[in-house]
Amino acid sequence: MSICESSAPAVVAPVGVLAEATASPLRRPRGLVGEIVVSLAASIREDRMAPGDKLPSEAEIMARFGVSRTVVRESLSRLQASSLVETRHGIGTFVLAPEPKSNFQIAEHDFATVSDVIAVLELRISLETEAAGLAALRRSADNLAAMAAALQAFEESIQRDSDAVPPDFEFHMEIARATGNRHFADLMTYLGTMIIPRTRVNTALNAPEGRLSYLQRVHAEHQDIYQAIHDQDVEAARSAMRLHLSNSRERLQHGRNLHTLGPTA
């Protein structure tokens, strides 16, 4: 989702919102997004920012963290996917009230180990395989356009040395929307970007073929799914999605000695 610059008056951020994060310089380019997300999410969850409070503008976050606009926008996109904030175009980004707890939950502690990440991935295999089949059956021209836009954003993102998590999640979300069954999209929204293994395990950085080749392979798998949905080939769409997620599971199983990256947003 594109984040527009706020045209509203200067933001007055709660004291201490970004103080801890700016106390020491950020060192790892690929970790900038995650560190900003963790900092802002902590400010929200620890009540230093209340529901309805406005986040600092993109320009202010850029200045305080010393990062590019692309990094800021990816960070805000992750916070939105986690239902912590919402962006009102032309106004700014605001903290959301916590969602009411439900009986079914997948929380941060459910991603403590690589085995935990694999367990959630197995849930996705059953859920998204059927979603892909329904999407192939019911997709509209608008659905296809949204999927194509997410694929284009993914390709551009990996060329910028990004982890491409937001467009990856958006592609899967658009498939859920294309089912025409709101429950698929609601569940995907609830799970958020934490269902993307790269948010929890450095699979791209540890891939034998290297980060770029790894993400290009993921992109090719996405393209196969898109083509099957475009062609309205239900069984091919299911097979392509199952293969894509099974490949992710296999990559994780080969890397069980890796460690998860710590708390998500």
DSSP string, 170-210: HHHHHHHHHTS-HHHHHHHHHHGGGGSGGGTB-HHHH-TT-
The one-digit pLDDT tens for each residue of the chain (265 residues) are 434 443 444 444 443 444 444 434 444 444 788 788 888 888 887 778 888 999 999 999 999 888 998 888 888 888 887 788 998 888 899 998 876 655 556 655 555 577 777 888 888 899 999 999 999 999 999 999 999 999 999 999 888 877 788 899 899 999 999 999 999 988 888 777 666 665 555 555 555 567 788 889 999 999 999 999 999 999 999 999 999 999 988 877 765 544 444 443 3
Contact, 99 vs 192, CB < 8 A?
no
What integer pLDDT is reported at residue 249 of this predicted model? 86
Tokens coding 107? 């929380």
160 token code pair? 């910028």
What are 182-228's pLDDT values in tens digits?
999 888 887 776 666 655 555 555 555 677 888 899 999 999 999 99
Q: Check for a shared fold between 19-95 and 108-254.
A: no
Q: What is the pLDDT of residue 123?
A: 87
Over the range 222-250, which residues count as b (16 or more CB within 10 Å of their CB) and which as e? bebbbebbeeebbebbbbbbbebbeebbe
Structure tokens at 7: 């045209």
For residue 116, give both structure tokens: 């935990």
CA torsion 33-165-246-135 (nearest 10°) is 160
pLDDT of residue 213: 86
Residue pair 196/161 in contact (Cβ under 8 Å)? The answer is no
Instruction: Please give the pLDDT value at position 155.
Output: 93
Angle at CA of residue 53, ends 51 and 57, nearest 5°: 140
Cβ contact 40:79 at 8 Å: yes
Domain map of the chain by residue range? 19-95, 108-254
Topology adopted by domain 19-95: Arc Repressor Mutant, subunit A (1.10.10)
What does the pLDDT read at residue 10?
41
pLDDT at 95: 92
pLDDT of residue 110: 57
Domain covering 108-254 assigned CATH 1.20.120.530 in the classification = yes
